[in-house]
Amino acid sequence: MGDDVLTLVEARLASTFGEPAGRAAVTFLGTERIEVLRFTESAADGSALVRYATLGMSYRPMNDPLAAVADPVRGPRAELVLTVKGGRDEVLRPLAVLAASPQVEGLVVAPGASLDIGEPLWPDAPFSAVLVAEPGGLVEDLELDAPADPVRFLPLLPMTANEAAYKRVHGAASLQERWLRHGTDLRDPARRTVPLDD
């Protein structure tokens, strides 16, 4: 089923963002191949908006690492989407690492979760962690034949170290409310930490 799922996922991404402008593949020992597709469009201010979407994370469902037997069909499936003004192609490998984490570490990636790669998302980036946002806004869920769960396309919102610390204490909703209140452009690769003490 896995290859058929990825064919459908790529078609959904292409119908949403257009044909990919580039792609890169990363393989980790003992895991399925993860690709990262690059889509380019123009933002409202005329700058280039680059969307990076993983392809391969949904090959198999994410299973609870404590489960005695991994279900090959049922369980949440997802791909990750990161949007960066101007693009930062050095983010391809970190994104692939995050997409491989369910296979490598047994993680179930869900909205509200924090993912930290332990190093900048790209050279000199002020972010090493991302907040997993709610799906459906950028790319519609991809329904699969029952009993398989749909593939959800999870946006990633880069967090500075201070924002990640704030989120751990106060929760994802509180951090997102601050971003909204201050009009934070989460696609800006050089943005500063949102005010956290007002």
DSSP-based three-state secondary structure for 104 = helix
Percent of the chain with pLDDT over 90: 78
pLDDT of residue 108: 92
Q: Where are the domains of the chain?
A: 2-181
Task: Enter the pTM of the model.
Answer: 0.94
Does residue 42 register a pLDDT over 70? yes
Name the band, by pLDDT with cuts 50, 70 and 90, for residue 47: confident
Exposure string for 114-144, b = 16+ CB within 10 A, e = fewer: ebebeeebbeebbbbbbbbbebeebbeebeb
Closest CA to 159 of 134, 183, 137, 191: 191
Query: What is the Cα–Cα distance from 172 to 45, expressed in whole angstroms?
Result: 28
Q: What is the DSSP letter of 63?
A: -
pLDDT tens profile 68-119: 677 778 899 999 999 999 999 999 999 999 999 998 888 899 999 999 989 9
Q: What is the mean pLDDT of the chain?
A: 92
Contact (Cβ atoms closer than 8 angstroms) between residue 189 and residue 148: no
Contact (Cβ atoms closer than 8 angstroms) between residue 132 and residue 154: yes
Token pair of 23 as six digits: 């792609």
Taking phi first (over 0 means left), then psi (-120 to 50 degrees means alpha), and beta for anything else, what does residue 71 get? beta
